[in-house]
Amino acid sequence: MVRRLLLALMLGALATVGVASTAYADTANLVGTATGNLATAGVTCTFNAQTNTLSFTIVNTSPFDARITAIGFDLPPTGNASKSGLNGFTGSVTSQPASTNFTFSDSALGKVPLVSGSVLDFGFVTGKNFGGGKSSQGLAPGTSATFVVSGAAFAGSTEGQICDSIVVRFQRVGADGSLGDVALPAAEPELGDVWLDKVISGETAPSGTTGFTFSVTCDGVALPNVTIAADDAPAIAASGIEVGDSCTIIELASHGAVSTSFSVDGGAAQAGSSVTVTITADGQVISVVASNVFPAAEV
């Protein structure tokens, strides 16, 4: 379906939190491995490679009263012969709600439920280990907490790798609060774009600055109309469309043209007032050209 920017407002604001103002913020959307969208969160990470310091903010986006009771990181490569994983980290809680009580641990955090072979290198817990914890002291839906961790063992890892190594424990999941889960970063969707250009010809064609308006519908969702003139540069008709989804572009008014056609990626013209295209690969850019032919001038 059309790409949705999960936490676009909340994480956009939180992305400014970091240990270095010039560092780039990486984000991840977390989804429960067992209960799916009943246990979700968003995380924004900023890593300073010069000081080997990670700052991250997590937002609980779950429904009902699902609580985040532990947050851990299994840095690449995942797993470790030592039960405590990589060591030598120090960490602290920068901010958390008054009702939340996370503490940092670089010790062995125990098994990770539902995630085979995972060995956590460090974490923030509300109990003695990752799998336990106290739901009453966990992070409630709609609230956020920020943490800082430093350690030489970060060396060699990128910000994206660190952010994607997060593992989050949920308790009190579901409508009746009887479930538990572990959330991991969701796979990023494969996306493409659709661009639109305009060509007019014929003796009675209007000025090149005349705007032609098109409706755009992708995966059944109506997007904002696009108005473009022949003198304009190509315009984005649809952006961030998932692979497998189709978009239909319809010219709403031809301004008296005797024929309308569309060509896709330089292919043969297809007569008609509409065209449908499908994103088939990640990063694909489909170029659509809408052409109108106008009648000859009356003698």
Residues 162 and 74: beta-carbon distance below 8 Å: no
Residue 7 has pLDDT above 50, yes or no: no
One-letter amino acid at 228 equals: I
pLDDT value of position 79: 65
As given in the structure block, the two tokens for residue 174 are 């579901």
Residue 8 has pLDDT above 80, yes or no: no
As given in the structure block, the two tokens for residue 37 are 């969208």
Question: Average pLDDT, stretch 265-277?
Answer: 97
Burial class (CB in 10 A: 0-12, 13-18, 19+), 203: exposed
What fold is seen in the domain 191-293?
Immunoglobulin-like (2.60.40)
What is the 3-state composition of the chain as percent helix, strand, coil, each rounded to the nearest 5? 5, 45, 50
pLDDT value of position 76: 87
For the chain, give every domain's residue range: 8-185, 191-293
Residue 292 has pLDDT above 90, yes or no: yes
How far apart CA 85 and CA 109 sit, in angstroms, is: 9
What mean pLDDT, rounded, does the chain reach?
A: 91
Please provide residue 266's backbone torsions phi and psi, each rounded to the nearest 5 degrees: 80, 10
How far apart CA 72 and CA 114 sit, in angstroms, is: 14
- pLDDT tens track for 155-178: 999 999 999 999 999 999 999 999
- pLDDT tens track for 20-59: 333 457 899 999 999 999 999 999 999 999 999 999 999 9
- What is the separation, in whole angstroms, between the first and last Cα of the chain? 52
Residue 19 has pLDDT above 70, yes or no: no
